[in-house]
Amino acid sequence: MRPMAQDTARPLRPVHVIAGLDLADGGPSYSVPRLCEALAAAGAEPVLLSVVAERNQSCDTSHRGYPDRRFAQDLAHVPGLRVLRRSVAFCAALKETAATADVVHDHGLWLLPNLQAGWAAAAAGKPFVVSPRGMLSSPALAFSHARKRAFWKLLQGPVVRCASCIHATSGQEYDELRAFGLRHPIAVIPNGIDVPDLVLEPLAAAGDKRVVLFLGRLHPKKGIELLLQAWAKVEPGHSGWQLFLIGSGEEWYVRELQALSRNLDLGRVSFGGATYGAAKWDVFRAADLFVLPSLNENFGLTAAEALAAATPVIATTGTPWSRLEDEGCGWWVEPTPYALAAALTAAMAMPRPALREMGLKGREWMLRDFSWNRVAQDMANVYAWLVGRAEPPASIRLE
């Protein structure tokens, strides 16, 4: 049943819920607050609720034009239970905020705040939107499969099935959600991307060193082993090139990657810790080429960031970046060492001016199709439809 029409003159009031906003959590720690900021700039009145990491303290801010409320965990001192991110204060604030909100929008799965978002929406009688953020893809479900299967059957599945709408960040994620069995209306709306100032170093001053970059979370789903195996095939014939792996991850996994690099006898591979803010953009700009070798990505924010910095991209078919080749700014290949090596060989054979031209095409693509203004308006249109203010927007797929 469609909800009753509401006062169209009043700003929309979505409440956004995410379990945590730690930088180490990857893309959603950037994209969810940025979505709220863009919605506020478009005239909505969003509220963002989350639970802080481990023993950090609660805090409330509104410097981006919307309330950003982060609550302390109750069981942060209990190693086996703190992963659930339980917070009585968060739960109370969510219930209170949902009562006056138009829509409850949850980002992510598998943690207690993600369940509480659905329960609060149902209790308040409000439309419920779920953004799985890639967590229902086959590769993602393969990690801790038995635990996730039980959790889905008992808790997460009933919450998601009550959603009014599912949000996918790409056509690829849409296909994965349908394959998983979800029959909801699905809004296909990408993440937005902030495009930094264009800073181009004179080609004559670039020197002889050339850089292939991976930047992001060091996690098994990112396919970094494939990249190292591909690099072993191309490194001997490209003496002026170096591979930088920039990011943080579980210590055991970082050690495994470093051991693989030694076992492959790679001489020009460097590991560096996570970098953020202006320093991150400097790293993107300094690279000749960015590689995203992931087994699966619902969006792949770092590929968009590389393009925004005018750096061409090699991405795998496990990511939704099939238009790289159509836009003339990169390569889209199978997630195998051989396909990655072939793309690396082709890219590394190109002179700097040609790679720069590809990067500039990618930057123009980001400016054209991934502005936060456009993303916010598309999301606001979904909310307006859910509360009865508008017809289904173009982003909604019902089939």
Give 22-39 pLDDT, tens digit per residue.
Answer: 876 678 889 999 999 999
pTM of the model: 0.85
Q: What is the pLDDT of residue 63?
A: 77
At residue 297 the predicted structure's pLDDT band, cuts being 50, 70 and 90, is: very high
- Return the minimum-mean-pLDDT range out of 79-93, 233-247, 253-267, 268-282: 79-93
Q: What's the average model confidence in pLDDT over 228-244?
A: 96
For 44-190, strand residue ranges (E) read 47-51, 59-61, 68-71, 103-107, 128-131, 165-168, 186-188
Dihedral of the CA atoms 342, 346, 348, 351 (nearest 10)? 180
Mean pLDDT of the residues in the chain: 92
| pLDDT, tens digit (0-9, with 9 covering 90-100), for 369-384 | 999 999 999 999 999 9
- Return the minimum-mean-pLDDT range out of 23-32, 175-184, 208-217: 23-32
pLDDT tops 70 at residue 160: yes
**Helix axis angle, 277-286 to 301-308, nearest 10°:** 70
- Return the minimum-mean-pLDDT range out of 194-203, 253-262, 285-294, 368-377: 194-203
Q: What is the pLDDT of residue 9?
A: 73
Q: What is the pLDDT of residue 27?
A: 81
C-alpha dist (Å) from residue 157 to 115, 163, 258: 10, 10, 38
Q: What's the average model confidence in pLDDT over 65-83?
A: 83
CA gap 140, 180 in Å, rounded: 12
Q: What is the pLDDT of residue 5?
A: 44
pLDDT tops 50 at residue 2: no
Domain ranges of the chain: 14-192+371-397, 203-369
Residue 265 zone, left/alpha/beta (φ > 0; ψ -120 to 50; rest): left
Pick the CATH number of 203-369 from 3.90.1150.10, 3.40.190.10, 3.30.1510.10, 3.40.50.2000: 3.40.50.2000
- Return the minimum-mean-pLDDT range out of 36-40, 88-92, 119-123, 195-199: 195-199
pLDDT tops 60 at residue 315: yes
pLDDT tops 70 at residue 1: no
pLDDT tops 80 at residue 309: yes
- Return the minimum-mean-pLDDT range out of 63-77, 95-109, 173-187, 321-335: 63-77
Helix, coil or strand: residue 397: strand
Helix, coil or strand: residue 351: coil
Please give the structure tokens belonging to residue 116: 């509480």
Q: Which fold has domain 14-192+371-397?
A: Rossmann fold (3.40.50)
Instruction: Tell me if 14-192+371-397 shares its fold with 203-369.
Output: yes
